[in-house]
Amino acid sequence: MYVIRTLEKYFIKACRQFPVMLVTGARQVGKTTFLLHLSKKNQTYITLDDPLIQNLAKEDPALFLQRYKPPIIIDEIQYAPELLPYIKIEADRQRKNNLFWLAGSQYFYMMQGITESLAGRVGIINLFGLSLQEKKGSGNTVKPFLPQNITNKCKENNLPKLSLKELYYSIWRGSFPAIALNKDMDWNLFYSSYVQTYLQRDVSYLSQVGDITSFMRFLKAAAARTAQLLNISQLARDADISVNTAKRWMSILIKSGIVYLLEPYYSNVSKRLIKAPKLFFLDTGLCSWLTNWTSPETLEAGAASGAMFETWVISEILKTWQHNGLYPSFYYYRNKDQKEIDLLIVKDGVVYPIEIKKTASPHKQDIHYASLTRLGVKLGPGIIICLVEEPIPLSNDIYAIPASYI
């Protein structure tokens, strides 16, 4: 079953501007399905998972492109970066748009090869797992999440509802299409297989990782710290590896689409802000599996409940922007007095504060609006994303909204 993805409109638009399109993202987010759904009858699909085809692409890329002529879809492009200069030559020779569709993970050397070989010729877009709205069938209507837009929507008061049980089922289940759309698929089997595939095919393929067992320990330690400040020294100590190794492995998690680092907001006006980023897993189902939460009920009642809710909200908001082809300015705010705002969205010089709180009884004091006024920035309306059943205006500038409104 195919679910309409928000990214479709932007992808089709970008195809008119570039001869080469690259769709990146973590394994199993639906890159291949996405491209095949949008493909035309005259486009050939080739995957470099096939050892014979991969060998041809690596050993004789010129012959590969003679045999498989554009328009063409090349999956798992990271396995044959040798193809990229020849794709450039073919794109320059034909001088047409929409010749090559590529799909692959954001490996260091692949992305370096893309930017070096195909600069100015490739449109690069990132695909995440399914968003809540995509799972509900309204992916084609999703707009970038911004408090001023949401406050207008709240007045309609006809947006979808989500019970606490449904919310944590969605958080625990995760956003990979294969597991999110098939309730009969075994959760534990899916994620254990996913991790093994990720370790064996992605991580071990990178020269930076030699000890898979240690990397698995590092992966679980990172998952236990989702929605927390990244302390790389502490993470290295818990995983029993060196700090330099932890830094390299964290880069692998970022580049392979497993984690996202939210940078702190700071300016020259204030020097009192903590500068460590916050760590977020991009799929809460994977994070739940790595931290041994075996059911949505135990997750909701457990110690990680609030952190996992925050992780899910950050991921959902990020999808609304990137699936519309936009790379937003996202930050968090925390000063030495421990005044914190979970998310700041900066757009056109305006700062929009967002607090994420697992509560059904929010207060306007939950969002430290006054802390930002001292920074001398232009503030937009603030939002508290929580477990209320209906949107509630807490002041002229602050709304509390249900999580389902993202």
- Reported confidence tier of residue 212, pLDDT bands at 50, 70, 90: confident
- If DSSP codes are grouped into helix, strand and coil, which group holds residue 406? coil
Q: Does residue 272 surpass a pLDDT of 50?
A: no
Q: Give residue 151's pLDDT band: very low, low, confident or very high (50, 70, 90).
A: low
Q: Which residue has the tokens 């995760």?
A: 174
* pLDDT for residue 139: 92
Mean pLDDT, the chain, as a whole number? 90
Contacts of 46 (CB under 8 A, 6+ apart): 53, 68, 72, 73, 74, 75
Q: pLDDT value at position 339?
A: 82
Rg (CA), the chain: 22
pLDDT at 109: 62
d(CA 80, CA 61) in angstroms, rounded, equals 9
On whether the CB atoms of residues 27 and 79 are closer than 8 A, the answer is: no
Residue 4's pLDDT is 96
Q: What is the pLDDT at residue 337?
A: 74
200 has pLDDT over 70: yes
pLDDT at 269 exceeding the cut of 60? no
Return the DSSP state at 48: T
SS3 (DSSP) at 27: coil
Question: 23 by DSSP, 3-state: which?
Answer: strand
**Is residue 86 scored above 90 in pLDDT?**
yes
pLDDT tens digits, residue range 159-190? Answer: 667 899 999 999 999 999 999 999 999 999 99
Cα–Cα distance measured from residue 31 to residue 42, given in angstroms and rounded to the nearest whole number: 19
Query: What is each CA distance from 230 to 261, 266, 274, in whole angstroms?
Result: 8, 17, 11
Q: What angle do CA 287, 163, 174 make, to 5 degrees?
A: 20
In 3-state terms, what secondary structure has residue 17? coil
The residue behind tokens 């010089």 is: 349
DSSP sequence for 383-403: EEEES-SS-EE-SSSEEEEEG
CA distance 296 to 278: 24
Helix, strand, or coil here: 130?
A: coil
pLDDT band at 206 (very low <50, low <70, confident <90, very high): low
Give residue 240's pLDDT: 93
Which residues make up the CATH 3.40.50.300 domain(s) of the chain? 7-126
Whether the Cβ atoms of residue 91 and residue 121 lie closer than 8 Å to each other: yes
For residues 225 and 210, what is the distance between their CA atoms, to the nearest angstrom?
Answer: 23
Which pLDDT score, from 0 to 100, does residue 158 have?
Answer: 60
SS3 382: strand
Confidence at residue 371, expressed as pLDDT on a 0 to 100 scale: 78
pLDDT exceeds 90 at position 48 = yes
- Contact yes or no for 327/315 (Cβ under 8 A): no
Q: pLDDT (tens digit, 9 = 90+) per residue, 225-260?
A: 999 999 999 999 999 999 999 998 998 899 889 999
* E runs forming strands in 285-374: 329-334, 340-347, 350-356
CA angle 307, 198, 406 (to 5 degrees): 35
pLDDT at 208: 63
Assign 114 a pLDDT band (cuts: 50, 70, 90).
Answer: confident
Q: State how far the Cα of 196 lies from the Cα of 353, in Å rounded to an integer.
A: 39
Structure tokens at 274: 């903590």
Distances (CA, A) of 221 to 83, 89, 100, 231, 253: 37, 45, 39, 11, 12
Please compute the mean of the pLDDT values over residues 80-109 and round it to a whole number. 89
Mean pLDDT of 30-35: 96
Class for the domain spanning 7-126: alpha beta
What is the Cα–Cα distance from 271 to 278, expressed in whole angstroms?
18
Which residues lie across from 351 on neighbouring strands?
346, 379
pTM: 0.93
Q: What is the pairing mode between strands 278-281 and 259-262?
A: antiparallel
- pLDDT(95) > 70: yes
Q: Model confidence over 129-149: pLDDT tens digits?
A: 999 999 999 999 999 999 877
What is the average per-residue pLDDT within 61-75? 96
Higher-confidence residue of 154 and 285: namely 285
Percent of the chain with pLDDT over 70: 93
Assigned token pair, 272: 């009192």
200 vs 399, more confident: 399
* Across 18-27, 86-95, 249-258, 293-302, least confident range: 249-258
In Å, the largest CA–CA distance within the chain is 66
